[in-house]
Amino acid sequence: MRLINQKVSRPAGFLLAAIPFAIVIIAYVSASGARLAVNPSDKLLPSFASMAEAFWRMATQPDRRSGSLLLWADTAASLARLALGIGISALLALLLGVPIGLIPKIRGLLNAFIATFSLIPPITVLPILFIAVGLGEASKIALIIIGTAPVMTRAIALAVSELPVELLVKAQTLGASTWQIILRVVLPQIWPKLVVAIRLGLVPAWIFLISAEAIASTEGLGYRIFLVRRYLAMDVILPYVAWITLIAFLLDRALMLSSRRFFRWAHLGGGGL
Amino acid sequence: MFRKSLLKFLPAAFAATLLLSAPAAEAAPKKDFKVCWSIYVGWMPWGEIQNSGLMKKWADKYGINVDIVQINDYIESINQYTAGEFDGCSMTNMDALSIPSGGGVDTTALIIGDYSNGNDGIVLKGAKALADIKGQTVNLVELSVSHYLLVRGLDGIGLSEKDITVVNTSDADMVAAYSTPDVTAVVTWNPLLSEIAGMPESYKVFDSSQTPGEIIDIMMVNTEVLKDNPDFGKALVGAWYEMMAIMSKSDSAGMDMRTAMAKASGTNLAGYDSQLASTAMFYTPAEAVAFTKDPKLITTMEFVRQFLFEKGILGEGAPSVDFVGIEFPGGKTLGDTANIKLRFDPAYMEMAAAGKL
């Protein structure tokens, strides 16, 4: 049988998926063990035990300096920034993307501009951002918005322009105005696409969140990682990276599942990632 | 099918393991050595020692090879040294204690190059006294020598870190950050310091010349490597003091050398000379030896280790301030004598002072 026709059973699929993870873990444990054998206080590749201990300390013991539980304070600060940034981006994507996708004159006005704007690497305009909105929370959220809104807007505009033209014609023969078409034809169909846009936008959003926190802040997941990097505390950094990955994964799954639940009609094709 | 895939993956796992295990600095006689440095007024000579062939001259004399590598990011250079990629690296006394020594890498101060004598400072916008800092938000690179200087400055006027809010700010963005209206106080180092202090309504209210000799710039080397390869230490020290003799003169050779260093650090001769003016360079080995043997160094390291411990930098898990031992000339120590990881040993500088290299 050809390779492309060999199906994988559920348990075998699970094992297959576990292989790359197992390889990375085995490679890490052996490399870490080798370094720790030479120098028991090696900081570069700490053992799983010391990482678990550091993570537990960050999560349950008040910090010597600030008295707060660092992991939760950092997570709350970062998630608040992420939610605000991605929320505003989603709103912009909707407000701009729908007219761009539907109305030729607005597409003519904005399409080229947004396409150009989306190509600016956001980090390079950071000094301008500082001067425009200051060094506080606003600049971090603005960085996330600049990094994600253009791409999400284009995704929505594309989805709108790909709506079956029959639907629009049919609505018009029934006498719908442009405004009514937006409300009754376009928007209901665009919600699941917005969820997809948010899921895709979250990837760069995390990157910009972490970079923004590295530049000037007093708390946050990215702040902590860049702070303890100053003394090579990999026993804190690696669990934080795993924690960020876990949160990002759960957010993505939650968005996908809620889209399946609320917009079942959009997932009739089955599968999907 | 599963077994087959596993077998196929095994070599890949092996390769990944090899990749991950960066070589720990080897403790055995060897011929090839690598040291690293990053841009800072007191370390610019290392670049010219390599470029001018001085390093090759001294390495050849002892029959070894020494490669001097510039790393763009200061902390990254220390991390690389700590990971075992380099046999030596230029860093401050404070970062040496917290990163390599705190990380179990036994490290020796081979060459005490200089101390900051005004190169680090606190700048306030629209206020002329350090006491005005009370209640302000202060932007600085947290846990760096700037942070240490701030704590020392606050100590001196009866304030503590609780009286202010520290905002961790990357040094790369310090100047841009300072030009925004909501940033009113920064602690930073040269050349950023002179740029920021030169802006309108800005006053340098405290600098490292008020706590002289506490922020020390040192060529740190791996103790094991040095013990097994004394020639490595001799070659580095020999090359360094020959360069010191050249660059400290005001003749044309000295000016040329300093101009090259100025260019490499992105300024001109006048700019570099003004940075040197706020740096107390030890141009002769005798001065550096005297500084190392001065009991004041022990007091300084006591301040430094207390600062590091209070900030949790000696490793969050460090049970006490004595966790890492520090050794000074004459057998004096601080901290755990069974875990000495930082050594101030003037032996090689003394050889240079006595002309025995």
A40 to B104: CB separation less than 8 angstroms, yes or no: yes
Mean pLDDT calculated for residue range A244-268:
93
**Position B8 confidence tier, pLDDT thresholds 50, 70, 90:** very low
Mean pLDDT calculated for residue range B13-25:
47
Residue A135 contacts B where some CB pair is shorter than 8 Å: yes
Task: Report the gap between the CA of B30 and the closest CA in chain A (Å).
Answer: 19
Residues of B in contact with A136 (CB under 8 A): 182
ipTM (interface pTM): 0.72
Residue B311 contacts A where some CB pair is shorter than 8 Å: yes
Q: What is the mean pLDDT of chain B?
A: 89
Residue A12 contacts B where some CB pair is shorter than 8 Å: yes
Mean pLDDT calculated for residue range B248-273:
92
Classify strands B107-116 and B340-344 as parallel, antiparallel or unpaired.
Answer: parallel
Residue A18 has pLDDT above 70, yes or no: yes
Residue B167 contacts A where some CB pair is shorter than 8 Å: yes
Q: Which of B22, B55, B16 is nearest to B37 (CA)?
A: B55
The count of structural domains within chain A is 1
Residue A252 contacts B where some CB pair is shorter than 8 Å: no
Classify strands B185-189 and B333-334 as parallel, antiparallel or unpaired.
Answer: unpaired
A230 to B21: CB separation less than 8 angstroms, yes or no: no
| pLDDT value at residue B173 | 84
Q: Considering CB atoms only, which of B16, B24, B179 is closest to A23?
A: B16
What is the largest distance, in Å, between two alpha-carbon atoms of chain B?
77
Task: Give the whole-number percent of chain B exceeding pLDDT 70.
Answer: 91
- First-to-last CA distance in chain B? 67
Chain A's closest residue to B14, CA to CA, is A27
Residues 204 through 233 of chain A touching chain B, CB cutoff 8 Å? 214-218, 223, 226-227, 229-233
Residue B251 has pLDDT above 90, yes or no: yes
Domain containing residue A109: 48-264
User: A112-158, pLDDT tens digit by residue?
Assistant: 999 999 898 888 888 788 888 888 889 899 999 999 999 999 999 99
DSSP A169-228: HHHHHTT--HHHHIIIIIHHHHHHHHHHHHHHHHHHHHHHHHHHHHHEESSSHHHHHHHH
Whether residue A232 lies inside any domain: the answer is yes
User: A43-94, pLDDT tens digit by residue?
Assistant: 889 999 989 998 998 899 887 777 789 999 999 999 999 999 999 999 999 9
| pLDDT value at residue B15 | 45
| pLDDT value at residue B119 | 93
Whether residue A34 lies inside any domain: the answer is no
**Position A272 confidence tier, pLDDT thresholds 50, 70, 90:** low
Q: Which of B89, B64, B10, B29 is nearest to B229 (CA)?
A: B29
In sequence order, the 6+-apart residues with CB closer than 8 A to the CB of A195 are A255, A256, A258, A259, A263
In chain B, where are the structural domains located? 25-114+214-353, 120-210
β strands within B164-212, DSSP E: 165-169, 185-189, 202-207
Tokens 């492309």 locate to A4
Residue A27 contacts B where some CB pair is shorter than 8 Å: yes
Whether residue A110 lies inside any domain: the answer is yes
| pLDDT value at residue B148 | 94
Give ∠ CA B230-B234-B236 in degrees, rounded to 5.
120
User: B69-104, pLDDT tens digit by residue?
Assistant: 999 888 889 999 999 999 999 999 999 999 999 888
Residues of B in contact with A36 (CB under 8 A): none
B312 to A50: CB separation less than 8 angstroms, yes or no: no
Residue A123 sits in a domain whose CATH number is 1.10.3720.10
Mean pLDDT calculated for residue range B172-195:
89
Helices (H), chain A: 10-38, 48-60, 70-102, 104-117, 126-133, 137-161, 165-173, 178-181, 187-215, 221-228, 234-262
DSSP secondary structure code for residue B24 in this structure: P
| pLDDT value at residue B191 | 82
Classify strands A216-217 and B165-169 as parallel, antiparallel or unpaired.
Answer: antiparallel
The two tokens of residue A228 are 């303890």
Q: Say which residue, A135 or A237, is predicted with more confidence.
A: A237
Radius of gyration of chain B (CA): 22
| pLDDT value at residue B7 | 42
* CATH topology (fold) of B25-114+214-353: D-Maltodextrin-Binding Protein; domain 2 (3.40.190)
Question: How would you classify residue B167: left for phi > 0, otherwise alpha for psi between -120 and 50, otherwise beta?
Answer: beta
Residue B16 has pLDDT above 60, yes or no: no
Mean pLDDT calculated for residue range A269-273:
60
Q: How many helices, marked H, and strands, marked E, lie in chain B?
A: 15, 14
The arrangement of secondary structure in B120-210, i.e. its CATH architecture, is 3-Layer(aba) Sandwich (3.40)
Q: Say which residue, A227 or B10, is predicted with more confidence.
A: A227
User: B312-355, pLDDT tens digit by residue?
Assistant: 777 656 678 898 999 999 999 999 999 999 999 999 999 999 99
Residue A257 has pLDDT above 90, yes or no: yes
Task: Report the gap between the CA of B98 and the closest CA in chain A (Å).
Answer: 6
Mean pLDDT calculated for residue range A164-177:
95
| pLDDT value at residue A206 | 95
Residue A167 has pLDDT above 70, yes or no: yes
Residue B118 identity: G
d(CA B195, CA A38): 45
Residue B4 has pLDDT above 70, yes or no: no
Same fold, B25-114+214-353 and B120-210: yes
**Position B306 confidence tier, pLDDT thresholds 50, 70, 90:** very high
| pLDDT value at residue A23 | 96
In sequence order, the 6+-apart residues with CB closer than 8 A to the CB of B58 are B66, B234, B235, B236, B238, B239, B242
Contact at 8 Å (CB) between B310 and A64? yes
Burial B298-332 (b: 16+ CB within 10 A, else e): eebbebbbebbbebbbbbbebeebbbbbbbbbeee
Whether residue A226 lies inside any domain: the answer is yes
